[in-house]
Amino acid sequence: MTAPAAAPPALEVRGVTVRFAGLLALDDVSFTVAPGTVHAVIGPNGAGKSTCFNVLSGLYRPTAGTVRLGAAELTRLAPHRIAALGVARTFQNIVTTQGTVADNLMLGRHALSHAGFTASALRLPRARREQRAHLAKAREIAELTGLGAHFDSPVALLSYGDRKRVELARALCLEPRVLLLDEPVAGMNAAERTRMTAVVREIRAELGLSVVLVEHDMGLVMRLADEVTVLDFGRAVAHGTPDEVRRDPEVLRAYLGTATTGEDAA
């Protein structure tokens, strides 16, 4: 697979606030995902990470603030329109359908289909050509994510780690410019986490896309992320490189309950 001809646009989050009745889930959160980088959003449980992801993907609409992908404002768009602009996501829990790996990946190609329902139902020549092209692209993505040998295998027979990668591959089938990964190694064993880390690193290098990562595995975050935003009680309390945020007193307080030094926390 070849990288995009141009770098993806910056994803800019500005002053995003989300309220649920009396609960302030996000409080004036701002950060920028630079083109082609891995940007991690971390924080303790209840910090607002999932709410932030749901705003970025259009599942939640913020009470205030904006989200922009280059010149396009995403703030009030429906999820399918945000996806069409090049933002794809995975979820904490595995979401796959019955059928093979190929079947699941072809679902990710659906939004890119132009043949139309009638042409597809009648299996007209142009619809068959498009189907073959989509299947070839899905196979490429399966190879890139280490699923090539399982392309025709039922998803139900795969290991947990492989099924997590099926969900990642399906998101990539949308050919996104920004990929949102919600706890991609949650529930994995050490070998599976290592493999997923390698896959994320490879797709970033091969495809040149931007990755926004929510993850509790700090080892993975420190190895993959270029920039980190730390949330605590809905507020952004720190930004910077992994080395910078791991020594930030506010981060230590959020995770450990005390402003210890970086050396003490190591």
Q: Do 70 and 108 sit in the same domain of this protein?
A: no
C-alpha dihedral sign at 172, 177, 182, 184? positive
Our measurement of the distance from residue 180's CA atom to the centroid of its chain's CA atoms, rounded to an integer in Å, reads 2
Rounded to 5°, the CA angle 59-228-16 comes to 40
Q: What burial class does residue 30 get, using C-beta atoms within 10 Å of its C-beta: 0-12 exposed, 13-18 middle, 19+ buried? A: middle
Could you tell me the two tokens for 259?
């402003």
**What are the pLDDT digits (tens) for 54-64?**
999 999 999 99
pLDDT of 266 above 50: no
Q: Do 32 and 77 sit in the same domain of this protein?
A: yes
Task: Single out the residue in 152, 175, 198 at which a domain terminates.
Answer: 175
Residue 71: inside a domain: yes
Expressed as residue numbers, the domain containing 125 is 96-175
Distances (CA, A) of 125 to 102, 119, 156, 171: 21, 8, 33, 27
**What are the pLDDT digits (tens) for 114-166?**
555 445 555 656 666 777 888 999 999 999 999 999 999 999 999 999 999 99
Residue 19: inside a domain: yes
Q: Which residues touch 19 (CB under 8 Å, ≥6 apart)? A: 25, 63
Residue 205: inside a domain: yes
Give the integer Cα–Cα distance in Å for 34 and 38. 8
pLDDT of 69 above 50: yes
Q: Do 105 and 55 sit in the same domain of this protein?
A: no
Q: Do 2 and 46 sit in the same domain of this protein?
A: yes
Backbone angles phi, psi at 237, to 5 degrees: -105, -10
pLDDT score of 89: 93
Average pLDDT rounded to a whole number, residues 4-32? 90
Residue 91: inside a domain: no
Task: Single out the residue in 144, 175, 206 at which a domain terminates.
Answer: 175
Q: Do 151 and 212 sit in the same domain of this protein?
A: no
Give me the percent of the chain exceeding a pLDDT of 90.
69
Q: Do 152 and 180 sit in the same domain of this protein?
A: no
Q: Do 164 and 203 sit in the same domain of this protein?
A: no
Q: Do 59 and 181 sit in the same domain of this protein?
A: yes
**What are the pLDDT digits (tens) for 95-117?**
777 899 999 999 888 766 655 54
Domain with 63 in it: what CATH number?
3.40.50.300
Average pLDDT rounded to a whole number, residues 7-35? 95
Q: Do 33 and 19 sit in the same domain of this protein?
A: yes
Residue 207: inside a domain: yes
The torsion of the CA quartet 164, 60, 24, 212, rounded to 10 degrees, works out to 40
Give me the percent of the chain exceeding a pLDDT of 70.
87
Residue 133: inside a domain: yes
Global confidence as pTM? 0.85
Residue 31: inside a domain: yes
- The tally of domains found in the chain comes to 2
Could you tell me the two tokens for 202?
């490879």
Task: Single out the residue in 142, 175, 208 at which a domain terminates.
Answer: 175
Q: Do 119 and 239 sit in the same domain of this protein?
A: no
Residue 184: inside a domain: yes
Q: Do 142 and 38 sit in the same domain of this protein?
A: no
Q: Do 116 and 247 sit in the same domain of this protein?
A: no
Give the integer Cα–Cα distance in Å for 16 and 100. 39
The answer to whether the CB of 208 falls within 8 A of the CB of 36 is yes
- 17: number of Cβ within 10 Å: 16
Give the integer Cα–Cα distance in Å for 189 and 16. 35
pLDDT score of 81: 93
